[in-house]
Chains A and B, each alone.
Chain A
Amino acid sequence: MTSIGVLQIAIFLGLILVCTKPLGAFMAKVFEGERTFLHPVLRWLEVLTYKVIGVKEEVEQRWTTYTAALLSFSIFGFLLVYAIQRLQGFLPFNPQHFGAAQIPPDLAFNTSTSFVTNTNWQAYVGEATVSYFVQMAVLAVQNFASAAAGIAVAVALIRGFSRQEKKTIGNFWVDVTRATVYVLLPISIIGALLLVSQGVVQNLHPYTDVTTMEGAKQTIAQGPVASQEVIKQLGTNGGGFFNANSAHPFENPTPLSNLLQMFLIFVIPAALTYTFGKMVGDTRQGWAIFAAFSAMFLIGVFVCYHFEQAGNPILGNLGVQTAATSGQSGGNMEGKETRFGIANSALFATVTTDASCGAVNSMHDSYTPIGGLVPIFNMMTGEVIFGGVGAGLYGILLYCILAVFIAGLMVGRTPEYLGKKIEQKEVKMAMLAVVATAFSVLVFAALSDVITFQAKGYWNPQGAPTANLNNSGPHGFDEILYAYTSSTANNGSAFAGITVNTPWYDLTTGLAQLIGRFLFLIPLLAAAGSLVAKKKIPETAGTFPTHGPLFVGLLVGTVIIVGALTFFPALSLGPIVEHYLMHSGKLFSFILLPAQGIWS
């Protein structure tokens, strides 16, 4: 690791830290329905939205109605995305004349679930599949919608803790509208302008055909990129305009745009911790969660950075200079952009997988085994290291419930968190969410490892799903495990190295996305419904303290032992064994496959 690299990581976390309180306090006001400095400018839009959709702002919902609203919102979004993709040939802003042929039903299904669940797993190649209209009117819109829905669920769960002896947890439509109007839109407008200033393109031109300096013909894709890029990061969606995602110079041209993108990924999840503290009336509670987030983030980023900078020992043994010098980066630069280097690639990989974003600025498949273990491990925690917008907070609150329940008994009281007793209902719901996640990752990955299909058949033309792998050995194992982990965690980042655009993978990863999203947040909304009805027990010296380093340590321990160690046996067959094999001199080479969708 270089000192300049460490410094850049520190600057990044510093920026996040600085913005957590102001943005968090602002969001608390927004969701408590208080007036903010943006109201004079934007209130009309909020009111107009309620008028158009016919919602009474002051009418609140019980958890069941809230969930029903969320589900109908998502189903509507799914149908819309599906229909518009399939009909893109008849719609405007389609200079490349893409039609239904580019998006067969299985792919359209997968893309629809992917964007509705805030996963943004992309089994398609953006610039070769979808029109500008689909990018703008459907995918970018879903980036806003799924992010706002995530924030709404988090806020509803917070209300479960902050209110007492109530029946309602807010109004889904109001929460989604406010999240969009006051939080996502303003930041996106500013962010998009900043991105354009760095050279991110924003146009509706047909693709440009050029002759390169070597004399080769090349088609350069264009499009309204900046407007989609900003919400891709801010909403922790991660679905790139182009296939190369944030590694593409039109999406992420400079180190500064790179910093801005990482900042956008973390800023809302970080600020929500403060919003949480503010709304429950004790900001220390929010900071404790922020501290737990930061601790897990720092461990991940430095492990990843260390192993990427250390590089491949086999190359070193061959006499290749792998140490960083003033003239070269050293370490493992395979699959990384030279304008970002190792530190900013490792940082981006950690940030994007911590936060359920899934944008990439380097190829995770090319990371060293342990460098690549960090992203997958981050996702296996259930995306609770800052996490997705809203999703990170409600995810970590699930672990708070579990941590408090397991260890809270040790103070001799029925466990309580923020004055709310943690009882059967909450534990049942939290466990349901954890079991669903484990099920989705493990069972789909196991099926893909052993199931076989007729070669050239419908489900998987390659035959067995394992035939879609580009790499053999434990690295190939990783590729499958990563696909289902990323889908279940609603991350959407690709390890790549596996052809996932086949009906089998489209269907199973799509199902994993749905399970990971809805079987996680519905139980938590149910818990919110149960918590909101409970009395708050006043804090005394006998109360389990849920702020301070002790609780932070306990929370981190619970996330790792309960959340992620479940996957340790599987990981040991993947990156862990690969790491030891690499040190014993064995690598797993790239097997050339037909080029269709190898980026996944």
Chain B
Amino acid sequence: MSITTTTENNVTPQIPQDDPTSVLPKKLGRARPLFDPEIVKRASAASFAKLNPVTLLKNPVMFVVEAGAAMTTIFLVRDLFAGGTSAGGSIGFQVQISIWLWFTVLFANFAEAMAEARGKAQADSLRKTKTDVLAKRINSAGQMEKVPGSALRAGDVVICDANDLIPGDGDVIEGIATVDESVITGESAPVIRESGGDRSAVTGGTRVLSDQIKIKITSNPGETFLDRMIALVEGAQRQKTPNEIALNILIAGLTLIFLLAVITLQPFSVFSGAQAGSGTIPTVAVLVSLLVCLIPTTIGGLLSAIGIAGMDRVMQHNVLAMSGKAVEAAGDVNSLLLDKTGTITLGNRQAVEFLTINGVTAEELADAAQLSSLADETPEGRSVVILAKEKYGLRGRHIPEHEATFIPFSAYTRMSGVDFEGRQLRKGATDAIITFVMEKGGDVPGNFKDMSDRISRNGGTPLAVADGKRLLGVIHLKDIVKGGMKERIAQLRKMGIRSIMITGDNPLTAAAIAAEAGVDDFLAQATPKDKLEYIKKEQAAGRLVAMTGDGTNDAPALAQADVGLAMNTGTTAAKEAGNMVDLDSNPTKLIEVVAIGKQLLITRGALTTFSIANDVAKYFAIIPAMFMTMYPVLGSLNIMKLHTPQSAVLAAVIFNALIIIALVPLALRGVKYRPLDAASLLRRNLLIYGIGGIIAPFPGIWLIDQLLVALRLA
């Protein structure tokens, strides 16, 4: 009995009180400050290591910047030795340009390193928990032997007692125990793991708190859940996502175009210089500066950091995404399949009303209902006892066990109750109770069917109560829609996402709950096969589907869905089929995962737009400066009134470098996401990052120019 009680308390996942007004991601346990000193230190060191051109080659934009920086440095050294400044302009200018170009690369490296370091820090803390343990393996002769955990292979069977660390991932095949999974989930309350059913999976590295279980190991060393988790957060297996690759192609293409524009500018200036008959042609330092300012360094420098940080944000929500692709797909989702129970409604139905049939008093019904529920430890059963107590003042009574026979609920009889003092009290599904009453020779009054149908229509579940052959009435069990759920679903609709409620209820009940929660569609009496079919149908219509699941029979649907969020409490099969695992086992989190996916994509788009829009101002800074000696009239283009050609070029280069570092927090945190429809989102973001991107560099470059002159640096 004690075990049952624990089940009630702990296995039902702790559903955080959802903020009713928002689908914004909420920071849970794993959040750490953005600029954690330890991480900053680690990232700074890594920025230098990343200067290696071979590693930079995968980022064409930054590779070009590094090549440019190297070139200006070489010319600087040459000029230093030559002692003259003929080719490259003044030494001081060249030194500063070279330094800032190197900093541009370093800043971009730092952004990526910051994102990676945050992952590494998390991986380290996970790795600490990964100590090798002695496993108690049962060998083929049935004898127990102690072997190191690392020697275990899939298929081995081990025994774990209280206080043992579970040596590897596996399924409980015998017994039931409480397990502390805080190392994985960050959640301190222990959970129940038992053989059979959907709570059989255990994770290596977690600790058994009570009882003894027999576990069949399902993974080989190095491939365990913990190993995968470490690899994922560390970014070791990070592959560029499809969208990231496409974006890389775009910015590489732009880089190539600007490379052409700047390289050809040299012969153009040679010709123009000859025509103008005066003035010098732009130096290498100036040409490189123009190139670096024009190529999309902002997005080029921050792109990979945005991707890594997106994964990290998912992790901070205690969701483990198996790939960046899955997070990206979450942003694209068109249809959300939400399980009714636990997601849309509170997990448990509650008794809210007793309805009597003619000739039966309310007290009589309440009494029978309470007695039949006394041994029923399900939440529904307990709610009946509570309702009887609260509404009719019937205190819970103790029935001596030897005087009564409790009839437990079974899927076959679909009713439960008690045989007590010669009475046969039963409650259960209406048709089951009707059959029970008829068999006893009783009859069913005409209005009984209406009564139970009415409850169904209102989204409730009717539970008939009988005392022997006498039908007494119906208990109205009601599904309670979670607070704020309706608003969230309305927000989803605004974002263009359809929500579909999945339930095992009959269509009548399902329709009522669906209406109450405001979902767009529902799937009633859903079998796992129905779910799979529904997903396929949605996908055939071009939609992307996300769903949650925990049972083994959910696995095919989880695998079929574009985003399959498996619950950590679920079976190994479910966890392997999905592309994300929620360590908190909170199905509502699917909505947050969608929001994070969108935020990731928006951040990329915003910084790309900003980066490209920035070019306009840089032209106005550098072009007049470049040809000032050749064509002084081009000074009219110097609309920022920058002081000298050198200060103008330097200011543009410095702005270009600083904007990368200034946007690191935005890249890591993601831009603020509001659940709006696409048109409003676009208008808003285009205004901020597009128009803002055109305007912002003007005052920025102007200010840097003022400072440079004030500090006598140019």
- Could you tell me which A residues sit within 8 Å of B by CB distance? 164, 402, 405-415, 419, 422-424, 427-428, 431-432, 434-435, 438-439, 442-443, 445-447, 449-450, 466, 472-474, 476-477, 535-538, 540-545, 548, 550, 554, 557, 561-562, 565-570, 572-573, 576-577, 580-581, 583-584
Contact = CB atoms under 8 A, between A and B. Distances in A.
* Residue of B267, B615, B637 with highest tally of chain A CB at under 10 A: B267
B246 to A, nearest CB: 5
B331 interface: yes
A557 B690 contact: yes
B264 to A, nearest CB: 4
Given A424-B249, A435-B256, A537-B542, A567 B682 contact: no
A554 B496 contact: no
A422 B245 CA distance: 12
B689 interface: yes
A577 B636 CA distance: 9
Contact of A476 (B247, B275, B682): B275
Nearest to B633: A580
Contact of A427 (B249, B265, B681): B249
B634 A576 contact: yes
Contacts of A476: 275
Contacts of B247: 405, 409, 427
B262 A554 contact: no
A545 B261 contact: no
A555 to B, nearest CB: 12
Contacts of A566: 257-258, 260-261
B637 A576 contact: yes
Contacts of A424: 242, 245-246, 249
B686 A419 contact: no
A408 B605 contact: yes
Interface stretch (B105-113, B417-425, B437-445, B594-602): B594-602
A405 B250 contact: yes
Nearest to B258: A566
A428 B685 CA distance: 25
B536 to A, nearest CB: 13
A120 to B, nearest CB: 26
Nearest to A588: B275
A567 B637 CA distance: 16
B332 A413 contact: yes
B598 A449 contact: no
Interface of B: 242-243, 245-247, 249-250, 252-254, 256-258, 260-272, 275-276, 290, 328, 331-332, 334, 493-498, 541-544, 597-599, 601-602, 604-606, 608-609, 612-613, 615-616, 619, 623, 626-627, 631, 633-634, 636-637, 673, 677-679, 681-683, 685-686, 689-690
A121 B5 CA distance: 89
Given A431-B250, A562-B612, A573-B627, A413 B677 contact: no
17 contacts: A406-B250, A407-B682, A410-B605, A410-B681, A411-B685, A413-B601, A414-B243, A427-B246, A446-B263, A476-B275, A477-B275, A541-B677, A561-B613, A565-B616, A567-B261, A576-B637, A580-B634
A570 B268 contact: yes
B332 to A, nearest CB: 5
Given A477-B272, A541-B677, A410 B686 contact: yes
**Is the contact region of chain A dominated by helix, strand, or loop, or is it mixed?**
helix
A597 to B, nearest CB: 22
Nearest to A402: B250
Given A407-B690, A439-B260, A573-B268, 19 more contacts: A405-B246, A405-B247, A410-B602, A410-B686, A412-B331, A414-B328, A414-B601, A428-B249, A466-B271, A541-B496, A542-B496, A542-B497, A561-B616, A562-B612, A565-B616, A566-B258, A570-B265, A570-B268, A577-B634
A554 B690 contact: yes
Contacts of A446: 263-264, 266-268
Contacts of B254: 431, 562
A410 B271 contact: no
Given A431-B249, A474-B275, A413 B678 contact: yes
Contact of B615 (A536, A544, A565, A567): A565
A311 B453 CA distance: 87
Nearest to A537: B542
Contact of A568 (B497, B542, B623): B623
Contacts of A541: 493-496, 677-678
B598 A412 contact: yes
